[in-house]
Structure 1
């Protein structure tokens, strides 16, 4: 297996490093695509079919989604600890295998309990995926390549969502089980690919000592965790009920699936999150993205049956959500540069906890007042999240800290 090279001198070494970076980034993006885009967020795409098959109301749909997010929370804690002990490849393989089993169970589910187990397992795979890939990039790529690579890997969510839309269209007419079977096969293929590509060993795999609280929650963590939780609550509306909202407004299942494809395609723009923070600064980038997320949610609440509005809203949501998760990933690695898996794991844990709270809460509001009202509530919460801005140190101090690999870049 070819190892990704770091800080290799000379033109040949530079070429080898570039190839290693591309291979690692590509397989990382694929893992995020199957775990997030297929195993986790495709649930929202198939809500109408699952409601009809298993006789679910909006509250039940939200509760199942919440179970998926809770599974994620447990998994991200396990992955954060496991990655520091056993390395990125082992935990990454576990993530892919969990996605394969979970999506397979959904495809075969004969009853609601089996469906719930499958959805929870599938959602849990995402918690296992992010920390090891963040650790792999931080360990095996040079500092100059890391921000862009982390953002591209994270944008795999958009690619997975993009793929799930056409699969749903091909599996129309009650054949949703075939779609989930295809998701399971894709997860198996990516797992094998990852096992043969991600380097073994590295500093993370050798870390076996106890982790102090200051290492888990270093300075700057409070804002990161609060921002992640609010983002989770605010985004739960579209991820869980977005497709159902536009379908009920009269756009039809085919149009709703196309909108999901638009969401995923726009999500690929999240690959530029790292470049955006460099140009605009983390604080302005974060606030602008949160306000755009809120605007997209409001647009869907007010005009879910208008095709142009829905297309724009889904596109903005997809691009901005992936960018926000990319900001959180970079925020986590820079708040905790010595243990990037811990920083990313903490941020993504609170993101999922927010979604675990938001999905059933918004489902209850939808049952009581209507789905548009639930979306307006989610948008209001998101606007508040725009105020939780990352702090940035003065440019000279930050540049010095980044050059030295220290914790100065507290975005």
Structure 2
């Protein structure tokens, strides 16, 4: 399959499942709270449901990579996103909202591994790192689009989620028509992984967990924090999420960067940038530069980091590309689920300043790990 054609349909699907279905909750939270009056602990708990759903779904996607075609799994991902977004739009209380968030969260875990398998079997080897990175950057497109729609729709969060649902339907139809019906037979994918691969994955797993915990505070509470700062200009508050999303497009260069400078350099740069975003938000929240620099750094470094994890994972789990993408993303989501719960508690007890500084310290710890391509 032509790499550009795959990116053209894969990037929008990732934009829908990650940007619209999953990370939009952090953006829409202030407006949802005006309707449902949830405290920070409840908000954090509901956010964690998305990550928990992601963990369940990505395990299913990895386990069933040889039983179902990638297109079949992606159809289920699209339907889960559509149903979840619809439920969110009509939710009368936090319980139903949580159900919608959970179902929408399932779509994220189901959508990524199938693309890794398609790239592995249908795209030229020299283009695979770049194809995976650009498809993954769909998260940033979805995030930017979510932010722009939220600005245009103001406080109409229910109508916003209905628009997201319609977009999800369109993207699913396009993917269904374009993606190959069957997995390539000439390159059989092995189920599971070897003991050698397991040993080589230990650093990858621990790093993914800590990175997930570190960045969860930013995804869930950064915009709410900005909205509560009196001296932040209105236009920056409104465009905060859009800035994160547009900056994320820079993260699509991860594959090309790794090909040229190596995985180690890419990993260290992304860790430093991602951790610094939370640090400057916690230490210098009243600085004019922080208001713009922090979201730019976060958007670009988060997408870049996930691109690094994809390449690192696939280099470790060479016998199964879906495991190579699925394992680090699974652990990353598990860390985010843990992090969102504790972030809500820490924010309630100690405030946002302590939360973001603590999150940055956890991120810096991951510099001790040394990713290698085998």
1:334 positional shift: 1.4
1:213 positional shift: 5.0
1:310 counterpart = 2:310: no
CA distance in 1, matches of 2:121, 2:198: 20
Q: What 5-or-longer segments of structure 1 have no aligned partner?
A: 5-19, 392-408
Q: What TM-score do the two structures reach when normalised by structure 2?
A: 0.95
CA contact (8 A) 1:246 1:305 kept: no
Q: Taking structure 1 as reference, are residues 69 and 367 closer, same or farther at Cα in structure 2, changes over 3 Å only?
A: same
Who is 1:249 aligned against? 229
Q: Taking structure 1 as reference, are residues 21 and 213 closer, same or farther at Cα in structure 2, changes over 3 Å only?
A: closer
CA contact (8 A) 2:11 2:135 kept: yes
Who is 1:68 aligned against? 50
CA contact (8 A) 1:88 1:133 kept: yes
Q: Taking structure 1 as reference, are residues 253 and 195 closer, same or farther at Cα in structure 2, changes over 3 Å only?
A: farther
1:315 positional shift: 0.4
CA distance in 1, matches of 2:256, 2:280: 28
Q: What 5-or-longer segments of structure 2 have no aligned partner?
A: none
1:239-277 CA distances to partner (integer Å, 9 max, x unpaired)? 000100100112366532301101000001111001111
For 2:182, which of 197, 201, 206 is the aligned residue? 201
Matched residue count: 373
Q: 5 Å matches for 1:236-275?
A: 236-250=216-230, 251=232, 254-275=235-256
CA contact (8 A) 1:88 1:132 kept: yes
1:177-202 CA distances to partner (integer Å, 9 max, x unpaired)? 11111111111111111101111212
CA distance in 2, matches of 1:68, 1:334: 28
1:170 counterpart = 2:126: no
Q: Taking structure 1 as reference, are residues 132 and 272 closer, same or farther at Cα in structure 2, changes over 3 Å only?
A: same
1:55-87 CA distances to partner (integer Å, 9 max, x unpaired)? 111111111111110010000000112223212
CA distance in 1, matches of 2:66, 2:195: 12
Moved more, 336-345 or 237-246: 336-345
CA contact (8 A) 1:29 1:153 kept: yes
Who is 2:343 aligned against? 362
CA distance in 2, matches of 1:123, 1:205: 33
Q: Taking structure 1 as reference, are residues 188 and 305 closer, same or farther at Cα in structure 2, changes over 3 Å only?
A: farther
Runs in 1 of length 4+ with deviation above 6 angstroms?
Answer: 204-209
For 1:223, which of 192, 203, 208 is the aligned residue? 203
Who is 2:67 aligned against? 85
SS at match of 1:389: coil
For 2:301, which of 310, 320, 325 is the aligned residue? 320
Moved more, 316-325 or 81-90: 81-90
For 2:165, which of 184, 197, 207 is the aligned residue? 184
1:132 counterpart = 2:123: no
CA contact (8 A) 2:116 2:322 kept: yes
Q: Taking structure 1 as reference, are residues 161 and 84 closer, same or farther at Cα in structure 2, changes over 3 Å only?
A: same
CA distance in 2, matches of 1:84, 1:227: 28
Q: Taking structure 1 as reference, are residues 367 and 150 closer, same or farther at Cα in structure 2, changes over 3 Å only?
A: same
Who is 1:152 aligned against? 134
Q: What TM-score do the two structures reach when normalised by structure 1?
A: 0.87
Q: Which structure's CA Rg is the greater one?
A: 1
Who is 1:233 aligned against? 213
CA contact (8 A) 2:122 2:184 kept: no
Moved more, 364-373 or 48-57: 48-57
SS at match of 2:38: coil
Who is 2:360 aligned against? 379
Moved more, 329-338 or 98-107: 329-338
